[in-house]
Each structure stands twice: as C-alpha cells, then as structure tokens.
C-alpha cells in the first residue's frame, strides 16, 4: 500500500510558510519533491520561500501493510500566514 501527501500553493495565495509531517516509523519514504527546503528526520519539515509564488510538496510512502490506529496516525502541522494548524489524516 502507498500513502501519498501533496500540497500546492499556486501563486502564493495561501501564504504557506512550512509543513511538518510525522509518519509512522514503519512507513518508508520512497519519493519526495518540493519547491521548498526539505529537512530529513521524523518529523519531516519543509520550509517554503516567502519569495517563491508556486510552492509545492509531494511525499510518497510505502506503508509495508501497516496502518496505525486513529490516535497513532500520521501527524501533520502546517503554518499558514504565521499561524500553525494541525491536520488529521486518517
């Protein structure tokens, strides 16, 4: 099974500053691409340029058949216009 996360901020309309993604340890990152700077680790953090207008991020994970319980699922935080928001994925 594959888990795919994608973010697009075309023309900078959403004013996204950074995104942090913490996958379960059992998942394997198999592809990553971004207009921003990707910092390795767990969580993976991506910082986007305030000058670049078309920011994007793609992360693809091989789940190795592991799907976590709701309270132990992937954790996402995104900073939009200086405010941080947590997202629920499962």
Question: Residues 59-70: pLDDT tens digits?
Answer: 999 999 998 887
pLDDT value of residue 72: 79
How many C-beta atoms surround the C-beta of residue 40 within 10 A?
A: 8
Model confidence at 50: pLDDT above 70: yes
**What domain count does the chain have?**
1
Helical spans, DSSP H, in 1-90: none
What is the domain-level CATH number for residue 36?
2.60.40
Tokens 């994608």 locate to 6
Mean pLDDT score across all residues of the chain: 88
Question: Residues 73-88: pLDDT tens digits?
Answer: 888 999 998 899 998 7
d(CA 29, CA 22): 11
d(CA 42, CA 20): 9
Query: Which residue segment(s) compose the domain that 32 sits in?
Result: 2-88
Where residue 73 falls (left for φ over 0; alpha for ψ -120 to 50; beta otherwise) is beta
Backbone angles phi, psi at 47, to 5 degrees: -105, 130
């Amino acid at each position: 099974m594959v888990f795919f996360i994608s973010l697009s901020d075309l023309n900078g309309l959403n004013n996204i500053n950074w995104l942090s993604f913490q996958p379960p340890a059992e998942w394997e990152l198999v592809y990553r691409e971004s207009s921003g700077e990707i910092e390795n680790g767990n969580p993976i953090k991506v910082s986007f340029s305030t000058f670049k207008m078309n920011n994007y991020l793609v992360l693809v994970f091989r789940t190795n058949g592991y799907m976590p319980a709701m309270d132990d699922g992937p954790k996402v935080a995104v900073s939009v216009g200086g405010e941080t928001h947590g997202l629920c994925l499962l």
